[in-house]
Amino acid sequence: MNKGFKILGIGQSLPSKVLSNKEIESITPGSSASWIEEKLGIQQRRISTNDTVVSLGTLSATEALLDSGLAKGDVDLIIVNTSSSDKLSPSVACMIQNKLELTCPAFDINAVCTGFLYALDLSSLILDKYKNILIISSETYSKITDWDNRNSCFFGDGSAAVIITRNHEKFYSNIGAVGSGWENFNCDRNSTFDMNGKEVYQFGTKVLPTEINKLIKENNLSINDIDWIVPHQPSHNVLKETAYELKISVEKVIFNMKRYGNTAGASVPMALYDGIKTGKIKNGDSLILAAIGSGWTHGVSYFKLDYK
């Protein structure tokens, strides 16, 4: 168990362009709008035009800062998780730091769709040194998508950010990796992603419930005491199967893929943002955050929401 954190502010940013399933069907050979909605739970996604991971990340961080009421000088560290950066160098974090006119340390991590969970785990260990940490999750997968491939229907673009500070509540977190699965989702430099959808489904439906149950058992929690599962958004069938394996109501799972698709490393904080801002998730609610990602990577965390 690590000491926990309070969320001082949260923000989100989305591209303005909306791409529907019907539009996907019209541009991608063999694609079906009805299949996308039935199997994946996606109706539309946001697609970047002039947006970048930097511009989206800057906007979500700006909202989080305004939401927190902090001055710029109060931010002590920036961590960005992304797997779709426009540049190999410099880091997205440094470019956002410049846009925000901050002066604190800044760096990137890449655990693909599990990136936010990795950032939370790391932040929980160093919050005594860096009082207020800004975590920004930003992705533009439309820029690494082959629109002639039927897998183009999965992903959307977006960003979310949180500012956290130390509290003394319980925070449990496990992160991990299974590097032997790297070939099932990968993207070469200056290329588009290659995905084995069947393997992603099998890994997700096996690892998500297994890792959630492991965290619960290790820390003497009860699944019945969890108010919300806030997961990565691979497909609604993966999440429905996860709920079934956990023996919980699917109504306890936060879904946002209908509007946004799978936003990779931004999907968990975007789902958290939706839950908080719509009033579904309330202060004091017990949350499980969970994700799998390319690599393979996986992560699960538990905390009670302490927001502002």
Contact 283, 133 (CB under 8 A): no
Catalytic residue selected from 184, 232, 256, 298? 232
Mean pLDDT, rounded, for 222-246: 95
Candidates 233, 277, 280, 234; CA nearest to 256 is 233
125 and 106 fall within a common domain: yes
Is 232 among the residues known to form the active site?
Answer: yes
Is 113 among the residues known to form the active site?
Answer: yes
Find the domain containing 249 and state its range: 170-304
Contact 173, 2 (CB under 8 A): yes
Q: How confident is the model at residue 245 (pLDDT cuts 50, 70, 90)?
A: very high
- What is the amino acid identity at position 156? G
Q: Which of 168, 186, 221 marks a domain boundary?
A: 168
- At residue 115, what are phi and psi to the nearest 5 degrees? -55, -40
The mean-pLDDT minimum among 49-63, 120-134, 178-192 falls in: 178-192
Q: Report the CATH number at residue 134.
A: 3.40.47.10
pLDDT value, residue 274: 97
Distances (CA, A) of 27 to 125, 146, 148, 188, 195: 46, 11, 7, 23, 19
59 and 202 fall within a common domain: no
Contact 117, 300 (CB under 8 A): yes
147 and 265 fall within a common domain: no
178 and 161 fall within a common domain: no
Catalytic residue selected from 132, 184, 262, 298? 262
Contacts of 169 (CB under 8 A, 6+ apart): 3, 4, 303, 304, 306
User: In this model, does residue 1 exceed pLDDT 70?
Assistant: no
Q: Which of 168, 192, 216 marks a domain boundary?
A: 168
Total domains in the fold of the chain: 2
Distance CA 9, CA 165 (A): 10
Is 94 among the residues known to form the active site?
Answer: no
Count of C-beta atoms within a 10 Å radius of residue 5: 22
147 and 212 fall within a common domain: no
pLDDT value, residue 88: 92
Contacts of 60 (CB under 8 A, 6+ apart): 11, 12, 13, 136, 137, 138, 159, 160, 161
Q: Are β-strands 297-304 and 158-177 bridged in parallel, bridged antiparallel, or unpaired?
A: antiparallel
Q: Which of 168, 183, 207 marks a domain boundary?
A: 168
127 and 8 fall within a common domain: yes
Round the CA-based radius of gyration of the chain to a whole number and report it: 18
264 and 121 fall within a common domain: no
pTM, 2 dp: 0.97
28 and 159 fall within a common domain: yes
Catalytic residue selected from 110, 113, 236, 298? 113
Residue-wise pLDDT for 27-74, tens only, equals 999 999 999 999 999 999 999 999 999 999 999 999 999 999 999 999
Evaluate the CA torsion angle 273, 274, 275, 279 in order and state its sign: positive
- At residue 62, what are phi and psi to the nearest 5 degrees? -60, -45
Contact 230, 123 (CB under 8 A): no
Burial-class residue 167 by CB neighbours within 10 Å (0-12, 13-18, 19+).
middle
